[in-house]
Amino acid sequence: MARSNGISNVVSALAGVGATATGFRSVQSTTELNSANKELMNAQTMLTETQVRGTQAERERLAQERIVTARLLREKSASYNEQIFRIMAEWVKAGGHPDFAFKFAIARIGGNGGVKVLPQKTLGVAQPLGSAPVERALQGTSQDALTYPELFPY
């Protein structure tokens, strides 16, 4: 009997060692995983910081471009006595796109130093319809078409 008690003590001790080894391996794996996650977070942090710096640099460049464009447009407004350039300068200062405003100003200024006069387009007036076609057209028309006829020309 003593021998079976000794064997069961050894088996019990080996089971305890196995459980301890499994627990140790689990802790070691968790530590390695946490270390890898920490490295990943550090890499993501560095990438985010780089993106933030790039965005800040772009924002500063655009702010400087707005200042310069607004100043140039105000000067052109005074030089050409054109209020549209002053209005565009205020629009740029308020957040409008400086490239658009500058290209607009260049397109508006003629090659001879004067301001181009852009041709005005006039729309022709439609011939009035009799009441019968209008009544037929309104039958089955939604309220939106009656309220916003320019959106629903049919």
Taking only the tens place, the pLDDT of each residue in 107-125 is 888 655 555 555 656 555 5
Tell me how far apart the terminal alpha carbons of the chain are, to the nearest angstrom: 105
Tell me how far CA of residue 5 lies from CA of 18, 19, 116, in angstroms: 20, 21, 110
Element (H, E) at 43: helix 2-80
Q: Are 116 and 109 in contact (CB under 8 A)?
A: yes
Beta bridge partners of 115: 109
Mean per-residue pLDDT over the chain, rounded: 76
Burial class for 108, CB neighbours closer than 10 Å (0-12, 13-18, 19+): middle
State the angle between helix axes of 2-80 and 98-108 in degrees (0 to 180), rounded to the nearest 10. 20
Domain range list for the chain: 2-110
Q: How confident is the model at residue 29 (pLDDT cuts 50, 70, 90)?
A: confident
- Residue 60 tokens read as 């500063």
Q: Are 105 and 80 in contact (CB under 8 A)?
A: no
What is the predicted pLDDT for the residue at 72?
A: 92
Q: Are 92 and 66 in contact (CB under 8 A)?
A: yes
What is the predicted pLDDT for the residue at 32?
A: 86
